[in-house]
Structure 1
Amino acid sequence: MLPLLPLLAGITPVAVTAAGPSACSNITSQLGSTKVTSNELSVNYVESTECWSTLQDAYKPSCVVYPKTAQDVSVALQAIRAAGSRFAIKAGGHNPNTFFSSVDAGVLLDLSSMTEKSYDPDTTLATYQPGGQFGDIYEYYAQYNRTVVGARLAGVGTGLALGGGMSYLSPQYGMSCDSFRELEIVLPDGQIVTASEDSNPDLFFASRGGGGNAYGVVTKYTVQSRPAGEFWAGNLIYAFPQKDNVIEAIGNFIQYNTDPKAAIIGTYEKLGTPDLNLNLDEAIIMFLVYDGPDPGDAFTNFTSITPILDTTGIKTYTEVVNMPIPMSSEISRGPNIFRVGVHRAGDGSYENALDVWRNWAEDNKGKYILLSLDFQPVPKSLTDASKAQGGNAMQMPDGPCYRDLVASTGNAEGLPLFINDANYDQNPLQTFSAFEKLQEIKKKYDPDNFFADKTGGWSFA
Structure 2
Amino acid sequence: MLPFMLPLLAGLTIPVAATAAGPAACTKIATELGSAKVNANQLSTNYTNSLEYWNTIQDEYKPSCIVFPSSAQDVSVSLKAIRAAGSRFAIKAGGHNPNTFFSSVQAGVLLDLSSMTAKSYDPETTLATYEPGGIFGDVYEYFAQWNRTVVGARLAGVGTGLALGGGMSYLSPQYGLACDSFRELEIVLPDGQIVTASDKENPDLFFASRGGGGNAYGVVTKYTVQSRPIGEFWAGNLIYVADQRDSVIEAIGNFIQYNTDPKAAIIGTYEKLPLPDLNLNLDEAILMFLVYDGPNPGDAFKNFTDIKALIDTTGIKSYNEVVNMPVPMSTEISRGANMFRVGVHRPQNNSYEKALDKWRTWAEDNKGSYELLSIDFQPIPKSLTDASKAQGGNAMQMPDGPYFWLNYLITTPPGMTEAKYNAAQASYRDMIKETGNDEGLPLFINDANKDQNPLQTFSTFKKLQAIKKKYDPDNFFADYTGGWSFA
TM range (shorter): over 0.9
Q: Identify which of 19, 24, 27 aligns with 1:25.
A: 27
Aligned partners of 2:234 and 2:296 also within 8 Å:
yes
Q: Residue 459 of structure 1 corresponds to which residue in structure 2?
A: 485
Q: Identify which of 442, 451, 456 aligns with 1:425.
A: 451
TM-score between the two structures when normalised by the length of structure 1? 0.96
> In the aligned structure 2, how far is the partner of 1:285 from the partner of 1:250?
12
Aligned partners of 2:18 and 2:107 also within 8 Å:
no
Shift of 1:57: 1.1
Superposed counterparts of 1:259-274, under 5 Å: 259-274=261-276
Superposed counterparts of 1:316-335, under 5 Å: 316-335=318-337
Shift of 1:343: 0.1
Superposed counterparts of 1:329-408, under 5 Å: 329-406=331-408, 407=432, 408=434
Aligned partners of 2:19 and 2:108 also within 8 Å:
no
> In the aligned structure 2, how far is the partner of 1:429 from the partner of 1:32?
38
Shift of 1:335: 0.3
**1:144-167 Cα shifts (integer Å, max 9, x gaps):** 100000000001001110000100
1:59 aligns with 2:65: no
Helix, strand or coil at the partner of 1:324: coil
Q: Residue 292 of structure 1 corresponds to which residue in structure 2?
A: 294
Aligned-residue CA RMSD (Å): 0.8
- Residue 329 of structure 1 aligns with an amino acid whose one-letter code is T
Q: Residue 198 of structure 2 corresponds to which residue in structure 1?
A: 196
Q: Residue 124 of structure 2 corresponds to which residue in structure 1?
A: 122
> In the aligned structure 1, how far is the partner of 2:51 from the partner of 2:213?
22
Shift of 1:275: 2.7
Q: Identify which of 473, 479, 482 aligns with 1:447.
A: 473
- Residue 307 of structure 2 aligns with an amino acid whose one-letter code is I
After TM superposition, the structure 1 stretch with the greater mean CA deviation from structure 2, 339-348 or 252-261, is: 339-348
> In the aligned structure 1, how far is the partner of 2:19 from the partner of 2:381?
50
- Residue 455 of structure 2 aligns with an amino acid whose one-letter code is L
Shift of 1:182: 0.2
- Residue 181 of structure 2 aligns with an amino acid whose one-letter code is S
Q: Residue 208 of structure 1 corresponds to which residue in structure 2?
A: 210
After TM superposition, the structure 1 stretch with the greater mean CA deviation from structure 2, 431-440 or 275-284, is: 275-284
- Residue 156 of structure 1 aligns with an amino acid whose one-letter code is V
Shift of 1:405: 2.6
Q: Identify which of 73, 76, 100 aligns with 1:74.
A: 76
Aligned partners of 2:18 and 2:88 also within 8 Å:
no
Stretches of structure 2 lacking an aligned partner (at least 5 in a row): 1-15, 409-431
> In the aligned structure 1, how far is the partner of 2:348 from the partner of 2:19?
55
- Residue 122 of structure 2 aligns with an amino acid whose one-letter code is D
**1:203-223 Cα shifts (integer Å, max 9, x gaps):** 000000000000000000000
1:131 aligns with 2:109: no
Aligned partners of 1:186 and 1:217 also within 8 Å:
yes
Helix, strand or coil at the partner of 2:451: helix
Q: Identify which of 439, 446, 462 aligns with 1:413.
A: 439
- Residue 369 of structure 1 aligns with an amino acid whose one-letter code is E
Stretches of structure 1 lacking an aligned partner (at least 5 in a row): 1-13
Aligned partners of 1:273 and 1:369 also within 8 Å:
no
> In the aligned structure 2, how far is the partner of 1:313 from the partner of 1:86?
49
Shift of 1:361: 0.2
Shift of 1:33: 1.0
- Residue 475 of structure 2 aligns with an amino acid whose one-letter code is N
> In the aligned structure 1, how far is the partner of 2:102 from the partner of 2:210?
18
Q: Residue 42 of structure 1 corresponds to which residue in structure 2?
A: 44
Q: Which runs of 4+ in 1 moved over 2 A?
A: 14-17
Superposed counterparts of 1:155-166, under 5 Å: 155-166=157-168
Helix, strand or coil at the partner of 2:435: coil
- Residue 435 of structure 1 aligns with an amino acid whose one-letter code is F
**1:274-293 Cα shifts (integer Å, max 9, x gaps):** 23322111110000000000
**1:356-409 Cα shifts (integer Å, max 9, x gaps):** 000000000011000000000000000000000000000110000001134131
Q: Residue 6 of structure 2 corresponds to which residue in structure 1?
A: none
Shift of 1:302: 0.2
Aligned partners of 1:251 and 1:346 also within 8 Å:
no
Query: What percent of counterpart residues are identical?
Result: 81
Superposed counterparts of 1:94-105, under 5 Å: 94-105=96-107
TM-score between the two structures when normalised by the length of structure 2? 0.91
Shift of 1:272: 1.2
Helix, strand or coil at the partner of 1:72: helix
Shift of 1:435: 0.2
**1:84-122 Cα shifts (integer Å, max 9, x gaps):** 000000000000000000000000000000000000000
> In the aligned structure 2, how far is the partner of 1:54 from the partner of 1:60?
13
- Residue 224 of structure 1 aligns with an amino acid whose one-letter code is Q
Superposed counterparts of 1:105-120, under 5 Å: 105-120=107-122
Q: Residue 10 of structure 1 corresponds to which residue in structure 2?
A: none
- Residue 399 of structure 2 aligns with an amino acid whose one-letter code is P
Aligned partners of 1:92 and 1:159 also within 8 Å:
yes
> In the aligned structure 2, how far is the partner of 1:16 from the partner of 1:250?
50
* Bigger share in helix: 2
Helix, strand or coil at the partner of 1:322: coil
- The count of aligned residue pairs is 448
> In the aligned structure 2, how far is the partner of 1:255 from the partner of 1:100?
35
